Chains A and B, each alone.
Chain A
Amino acid sequence: MYRGREGQWAYFLHRITGVALALYLLLHVFDITLVMYGPDGPFNAFLLFYHQWPFRIGLVLVIAAVVYHALNGLRIILLDFTTWAIRYQRSMWYGVLGITTIIGIPVLIKILPEIFGGA
């Protein structure tokens, strides 16, 4: 139906980031609920486990997924509720990828040294 062009990639990335973010959300709310057990509860041990570098790389990927899903979601809203946007859907998708990269670079510059600088 989309024949492998930009629209299909936009859809595929939106779906896979969406599923990943929804599953992350369930885990994330669950781990925050551990503060209910107080300062001597399991919360700090749990967080210490997730402060290991593989999980922090994972968190960077979660942020990237958030930015892509949000921007492509705005593109979908424009496609759904305006008559003109469909003509620009392809260039808007490249715009989504471009803005995701532009937001991603300063975020990586801020976060990567925190992970690998021993901080």
Chain B
Amino acid sequence: MAVRPKNLREARDTYRTNTELAWWVFMRISGLFLVFLVFAHVFINNISINVATVDYDYVASRLARPSVKVFDSFLLGFALLHGANGLRYSIEDYLKRPGPRFWAKLTLYVVTAAIFIMGVMTLWAFSYQEMGDAVRNLGSGL
């Protein structure tokens, strides 16, 4: 399906299921949010600083902050869903044979789910302040 609907009315006519229509709408709404989220993310971490100075301490000090956790959670969720659905469109456009298409989509869903779970764990399951303190205390105790 290389020709995609060009407006909301065509999208309603094209997609037989409400799920596909919902994804079509989601790509536009999440895209709008992602413009602001990703531009801010790139500016903060890549342009306002020299990216070569990024190390464990920089990332841990940012992930220790609740505001960054919330911001990055929205970024993670919107970006992964938007990206994974875009890859799904690409798979459906270029892989016509049912076998390769099935395995490509299964791989995509498994990898996306795994990356999402790991991302949420990274954001919410660790106290980077405590981890840093623990290692520093270990070092000073020797």
Contact = CB atoms under 8 A, between A and B. Distances in A.
Contacts of A15: 90
A5 interface: no
Given A18-B83, A36-B121, A38-B135, 20 more contacts: A1-B2, A18-B90, A19-B90, A25-B79, A29-B80, A35-B128, A36-B118, A38-B56, A47-B54, A56-B52, A59-B46, A63-B42, A70-B31, A70-B34, A74-B35, A76-B28, A81-B28, A111-B46, A111-B51, A119-B52
B95 to A, nearest CB: 13
A23 to B, nearest CB: 8
Contact of B52 (A79, A107, A114): A114
Nearest to B80: A25
Interface of B: 2-3, 6-8, 11, 28, 31-32, 34-35, 38-39, 42, 46-47, 50-52, 54-57, 59-60, 63, 76, 79-80, 83-84, 86-87, 90, 111-112, 115, 118-119, 121-122, 125-126, 128, 131-132, 135
A73 to B, nearest CB: 4
Given A36-B122, A70-B38, A119-B52, A110 B115 contact: no
Given A33-B121, A77-B28, A79-B6, A19 B54 contact: no
Contacts of A25: 79-80, 83
A24 B139 CA distance: 36
Contact of A40 (B51, B111, B119, B135): B135
